[in-house]
C-alpha cells in the first residue's frame, strides 16, 4: 500500500516478522475480532494483528523503543502498532507513528484515545475519538493463565470471596477475568491521571449471569486515588471464549 507520511522519517519494514503469533492464525480472525469487539465501547474501533496486516510497516521512531528487546518483544510491539493503526484507520485517522510515553503508554494521535494488548495468542487494539471516550483500556489474557500463587498479590480477601461466589461457567476462569479487568482499568486511567495504581488499591466487582460467558465489571480505587470526577460514566466489560479472556474499561 502506498501512503504519504506526515513524519519526517519514513517507515521501515520490521526487523522481525510482524505476525502476532501462530495461534492468531490458527483461530479464525473473525472469531478473535468478534471477541474483542464484544467488550469494546460503542463507537470504538478494534484492530487485530493478523495476516492481513502482517506487511504493515513500522516507523523507525517506533522501533527505537524496542531496539534492544528480544525478538518476541519486538514482534508483539510491532503487532500491537499494526493492530492500533488498523483500528485508527477505521476512524479515519491518517497513519503516523505511535510513540511510547514515560509510563510506557502509547501516545495516540491528537483527537484519539486507545489501548493495546498482546498475549501469546494475539495482538489487539481499541481506539476511539476523544469526543466519544476520554479513555479506553483493553486487556487480553490466556484463560487460566493467572495461577493461584498470584491471587494474594492481585486480589484482596473480599475480592477472593466475591470471585469464589461467582457461578461456574464453562470457559470462564474468574481470576483471569479479574486480573484482566484491573489491567484494562489501569490502562484506561493511567494516561488520564498519570498515577500508578497497585492491584490491592483497585477494588473489583464482576457482574455475571450463569448463562453467559460475558458480562460487566466495575473497578473503583481505595482512598480516592483516581483524581477524576467520580460522576464520570465508566463501563467495564468482560468476555471469555476461544481460550482467551478479554476485558475493556472506558470512561466518558
Ligand atoms: C502496563 C501493564 C498494565 C501492561 O499489561 P500486560 O498485561 O503486562 O501487557 P499487555 O500486553 O496487555 O499490555 C501491554 C501494552 O499496554 C500498554 N501500556 C503499557 N503501559 C501503559 C500505561 N502506563 N498506560 C496505558 N497503557 C500502557 C502498552 O501499549 C503496552 O504494549 P506496548 O509496550 O507493546 O505498546 C502492566 O505491565 C503493569 O505495569 N501493570 C501494573 C499496574 C496495574 O496493572 N495495576 C492494576 C491495578 S489497577
* pLDDT surpasses 70 at 16: no
- pLDDT at position 56 is 55
Q: Where are the domains of the chain?
A: 11-130, 139-251
- Name the CATH code of domain 139-251 (choices 3.90.470, 1.20.120, 3.40.50, 1.10.40): 3.90.470
How far is the centre of ligand 1, averaged over its atoms, from the C-alpha of 47 (Å)? 17
Tell me which of 14, 49, 104, 119 to substitute to probe ligand 1's pocket, judged by most ligand atoms within 8 Å of the beta carbon: 104
Contact between 185 and 236 under an 8 Å Cβ cutoff? The reply is yes
User: How many Å lie between the centroid of ligand 1 and the Cα of residue 165?
Assistant: 28
Nearest-CA residue for atom 18 of ligand 1:
105
Instruction: Supply the pTM of this predicted model.
Output: 0.90
Q: How far apart are CA 185 and CA 241, in angstroms?
A: 20
More confident residue, 18 or 213: 213
Q: Hey, what CATH class is 11-130 in?
A: alpha beta
Looking from the CA of residue 186, the nearest atom of ligand 1 is 48
- pLDDT for res 11: 57
Ligand 1 atom 36 nearest Cα: 183
pLDDT tens string 20-62: 333 444 577 789 999 999 999 999 999 998 544 444 578 999 9
Would the CB of 81 count as within 6 Å of ligand 1? no
224 — pLDDT class (breaks 50, 70, 90):
low
CA of 187 to the centre of ligand 1 (A): 6
For the beta carbon of residue 226, count every other beta carbon within 10 angstroms. Answer: 21
Whether ligand 1 lies within 6 angstroms of the CB of 191 is answered as yes
Determine which of 49-58, 94-103, 163-172, 224-233 has the lowest per-residue pLDDT on average. Answer: 49-58
pLDDT at 210: 85
Query: Rounded to whole angstroms, how far apart are CA atoms 141 and 246?
Result: 6
**5 band by pLDDT with thresholds 50, 70 and 90:** very low
Q: Are 83 and 106 in contact, with CB atoms under 8 Å apart?
A: no
Q: Evaluate whether 11-130 and 139-251 have a shared fold.
A: yes
Instruction: Give alpha helix (H) positions in the chain.
Output: 22-26, 29-39, 60-63, 71-90, 151-154, 157-164, 174-193
For residue range 120-160, list pLDDT tens digits in order: 878 999 999 999 999 999 999 999 999 999 999 999 999 99
Residue 14 CA, ligand 1 centroid: distance in Å: 22
Q: Does 7 have pLDDT greater than 90?
A: no
Amino acid at each position: 500500500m502506498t501512503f504519504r507520511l506526515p513524519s519526517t522519517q519514513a517507515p521501515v519494514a520490521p526487523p522481525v516478522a510482524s505476525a502476532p503469533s501462530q495461534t492468531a492464525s490458527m483461530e479464525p480472525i473473525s472469531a478473535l475480532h468478534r471477541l474483542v469487539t464484544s467488550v469494546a465501547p460503542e463507537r470504538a474501533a478494534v484492530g487485530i494483528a493478523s495476516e492481513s496486516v502482517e506487511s504493515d510497516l513500522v516507523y523507525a521512531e517506533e522501533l527505537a523503543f524496542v531496539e534492544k528487546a528480544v525478538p518476541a518483544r519486538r514482534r508483539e510491539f510491532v503487532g500491537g502498532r499494526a493492530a492500533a493503526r488498523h483500528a485508527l484507520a477505521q476512524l479515519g485517522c491518517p497513519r503516523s507513528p505511535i510513540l511510547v510515553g514515560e509510563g510506557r503508554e502509547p501516545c495516540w494521535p491528537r483527537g484519539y484515545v486507545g489501548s493495546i494488548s498482546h498475549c501469546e495468542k494475539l495482538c489487539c487494539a481499541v481506539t476511539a475519538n476523544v469526543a466519544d471516550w476520554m479513555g479506553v483500556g483493553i486487556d487480553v489474557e490466556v484463560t487460566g493463565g493467572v495461577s493461584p500463587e498470584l491471587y494474594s498479590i492481585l486480589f484482596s480477601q473480599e475480592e477472593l470471596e466475591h470471585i469464589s461466589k461467582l457461578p461456574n461457567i464453562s470457559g470462564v476462569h474468574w481470576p483471569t477475568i479479574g486480573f484482566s479487568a484491573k489491567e484494562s482499568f489501569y490502562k484506561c486511567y493511567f494516561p488520564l491521571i498519570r498515577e500508578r495504581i497497585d492491584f490491592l488499591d483497585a477494588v473489583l466487582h464482576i457482574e455475571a449471569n450463569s448463562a453467559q460467558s460475558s458480562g460487566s465489571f466495575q473497578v473503583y480505587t481505595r482512598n480516592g486515588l483516581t483524581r477524576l470526577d467520580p460522576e464520570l460514566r465508566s463501563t467495564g466489560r468482560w468476555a471469555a471464549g476461544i481460550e482467551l479472556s478479554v476485558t475493556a474499561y472506558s470512561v466518558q
